[in-house]
Structure 1
Amino acid sequence: MTHHTLPDIRPITLHELLDAKEKRVALQHRLLKQYRLPLISLTITLPGAVKLNGCALFLFRQAQQQIIQYYQQHHITCLKTIEHIQATGSEGFFVLDMPELSLKQACIDLEQQHPLGRLWDIDVLSPATLTSISRTQLGYPPRQCLICDNNAKICGRARTHSLDELNQTIMTLATQHGYRA
């Protein structure tokens, strides 16, 4: 993994966000078809139009480190890693030789056990379906809101919490766990 300095920190447009997602999905499909193994796709869950800043990169590096530590400690072969650090947010991809449901369980464990895990979006994609394996497929409830513990998607859609409140909660969590602005 290469460590980058931050590119331009700026709000992104909806077009840029959608374009980045389209490129991410294309890369995911290419890796799944090429390796025919499960794929971890890592992004950071950040509200608002600024998707990359020092805090976001810190959170990405923490998640990346936990994923690498997991597969190294468990002697799991990683065939390919890719990272993109860009204004639309950091992205990490890991092709691992491991059963997909076991890998999804391990990623859920990382998200639930690490104090910063609720800020990570660690998707596991199946080479058979080219889609993400959901938490509910393994019997877990949907992700909880950072602030009120309700379903995060419902709070997000309803804009239950202000952008300032969400960003302050994220900054507080990151600072408590090693981030220095």
Structure 2
Amino acid sequence: MSNYRRARVPGATYFFTVNLRNRSSDLLVREIDLLRATVRATRQRHPFHIDAWVVLPEHMHCLWTLPEGNANFALRWKVIKFAFTKRLAKTETLNATQRTRGERGVWQRRYWEHLIRDDLDYQRHFDYIHANPLKHGHVQRVLDWPYSSFHRAVRHGLYPPDWCGGNDEMMVGEP
């Protein structure tokens, strides 16, 4: 077992990738209203700022800034995953370990977290999040993906509506 330690910095901004266990599922977009309600409820109990977020069928990426003095993103993810899963019908296949532990098997057990180091790191991750539906071939233009904070960023003047819009546009790589 690796000796992995998560960086915990109070009030910091983090990039996350969270995946469903079934990587061929469309559960997250099919149940987008439930996911949104779950995130809203979690933010009321455990505040954090959503800098950027994109939801794809089987995974999501986001940038969160935690409140000053608080570094507990793990609690927030635990609450989101649990509350979302609790409201779903039990249709997933469970392995023996999941049955023994009383798990549902909806989410991958772990998630990717990255502490944002500086303005350039922030911008790269911000762009990566918003270009992700295009990267995965879900749309021809970023603007066409409905489950993204890209639309909010356009309203706030952070992107033009045609940003990263097609084959001849700038394509954003891995952060």
Task: Provide the TM-score with structure 1 as the length reference.
Answer: 0.34
Task: Provide the TM-score with structure 2 as the length reference.
Answer: 0.35
Considering fraction of residues, name the structure with more helix.
1
